[in-house]
Amino acid sequence: MADRYLSLTATAPGRFLARRLGLPQPAALRRWSPEQPCLPGVLLHLTAGETAVCDLAPVLARTGLPLAGPAHPGPAADPADPGVAAVVLDATGVHDVDSLAEVHAALHPVVRSVAASGRVVVLGSPLEDGPDHHRAAAQQALEGFVRSLGKEIGRGRTVNLLRLTDADAAESTLRFLLSPRSAYVSGQVITVTADGSGAPVDWSLPLAGRTALVTGGARGIGEAVARTLARDGAHVVVLDVPQAQDDARRVAGELGGTALALDITAVDAGERIAAELPGGLDVLIHNAGITRDRRLVNMPAERWSPVLDVNLASVLRTTDALLAAGALRRGGRIVATASIAGLAGNAGQTNYGASKAGIAGLVRSLAPCALAEHGVTVNAVAPGFIETRMTAAVPLFIREAGRRMNSLAQGGLPVDVAETTAWLAHPASGAVNGQVVRVCGQSLLGA
């Protein structure tokens, strides 16, 4: 369903009315397309604090945005230039309260110059337990700064914090955050570790030669994920329930992939998937999910159990079976679908919220051992209000509240979840592990 309010506020009378009434003024987001793969304008590279922990310039130069800033002098280095597509502030060297003032000093003069749908990415150091509590406090302060700036910056611009120690290991993440692919990701804190993952042969087809399985892939977000992974070169296996096999075959046929009709809640689902893919699997996307909403006092067991079985138990069983069978090749990726309902809670969704919070617990627990034992990373996406057939059926006022209650004042699209999933599935994203990344436009529900 079209967002008519977004269309209205794109007109001069609509903008005037929204300003006079103090209503949200969402900006149309710039998303990736073959014709516009990069944000227009320059990348402003700034620093704050003592010496940075890594050399970013070579990696930033490969993002596709021309570099500007003190370390990159030239005609485009004027921070007041209206063509600033993005700002990267290296604050890895911030170590005390005084050096936090340098964060303000660096960004205060340039925030206005960031173009609509532009990006601000602050770089910090990983948080570690240790004796230097001043440094820990200053680095933790960056999270509050980023989330607050994200809620006030407006015009479709996003602000995120990336914690890193190795610029090369963070390249896929920087490319993602500084591109139109991350249009609906804001206010997030992402940590990347030092990792041995290398660059793909072709950044435009990073999944070439790889096999990806998407559960619930016949429609909605799952279909968008399948299409995005296929765009990136993967052979996609579209798995869905037998009742949806016609849609699964249609999607798989259009993508040159394979359809697999299977009830993911079957006890032997993992073994059956492994048997269908004797050559193994590189990317496993757990997207299948259902809702059976009702307040707890009115929720019988028959509405509770199916949600937990589809959304959580099947993910646990299938993942365990595929890892035990060695069906996921080394360098593989597991990406599960959580939800902001599981992180912040939502009235009428105790079953759904429990299942999606369980996904976050699975990711945190499994990620380190899956990487150590199988060479596989485990992450999750947590969508907020996404424009699908399901949300189109939500009552008008609840739907409008869902759309507006985020920093971008609009709902996301299935492709926003798909692009985030594709980044986590990227062969160069091996340094991203154990992360739950919200795709919610920085929802006002929760952090």
CATH of residue 162's domain is 3.40.50.720
Residues 257 and 163 in one domain: no
At 63, the amino acid letter reads T
Q: Is residue 206 part of a domain?
A: no
The CA distances from residue 168 to 63, 82, 353, 374, 410, in Å, are: 12, 29, 36, 23, 34
Where a domain ends, among 163, 191, 219? 191
In whole angstroms, give the CA distance from residue 119 to residue 115.
8
Residue 196 pLDDT: 67
Residues 234 and 308 in one domain: yes
Closest CA to 273 of 217, 208, 232: 217
Catalytic annotation present for 352: yes
Q: What token pair was written down for 309?
A: 């079985």
3-state helix, strand, coil in the chain (%, to 5): 40, 20, 40
Residues 23 and 35 in one domain: no
Helix, coil or strand: residue 25: coil
Q: Is residue 201 part of a domain?
A: no
Residues 288 and 333 in one domain: yes
Q: Is residue 446 part of a domain?
A: no
CB crowding 76-109: b at 16 or more within 10 Å, else e: bbebebeebbbbbbbbbbbbeeebbebbeebbee
Residues 131 and 237 in one domain: no
Residue 103 pLDDT: 98
Q: How buried is 300 (Cβ within 10 angstroms: 0-12 exposed, 13-18 middle, 19+ buried)?
A: exposed
Residues 324 and 311 in one domain: yes
Residues 109 and 249 in one domain: no
Residues 167 and 311 in one domain: no
Which residue numbers in the chain have pLDDT < 70?
53, 71-82, 196, 446-447
In whole angstroms, give the CA distance from residue 380 to residue 424.
8
Bridge partners of 2, per DSSP, are none
Residue 420 pLDDT: 98
Residue 217 pLDDT: 98
Eight-state DSSP code of residue 435: -
Active-site annotation holder among 352, 387, 407, 413: 352
Please give the tally of structural domains in the chain: 3
Q: Could you tell me the residue range of the domain that residue 44 belongs to?
A: 31-191
Residue 77 pLDDT: 44
Residues sharing a CB contact under 8 Å with residue 242, sequence separation 6 or more, in sequence order: 261, 262, 263
The CA distances from residue 158 to 123, 154, 182, 375, in Å, are: 14, 8, 9, 32
Residue 81 pLDDT: 52
Instruction: Yes or no: say if 6 and 410 are a contact pair by the CB < 8 Å rule.
Output: yes
In whole angstroms, give the CA distance from residue 30 to residue 25.
16
Residue 403 pLDDT: 92
Residue 53 pLDDT: 67
Residues sharing a CB contact under 8 Å with residue 15, sequence separation 6 or more, in sequence order: 9, 25
pTM (2 decimals)? 0.95
Q: Is residue 205 part of a domain?
A: no
Residues 226 and 145 in one domain: no
Residues 14 and 35 in one domain: no
Residues 185 and 222 in one domain: no
Closest CA to 286 of 167, 436, 90, 136: 436
Residues 349 and 427 in one domain: yes
Residue 447 pLDDT: 56
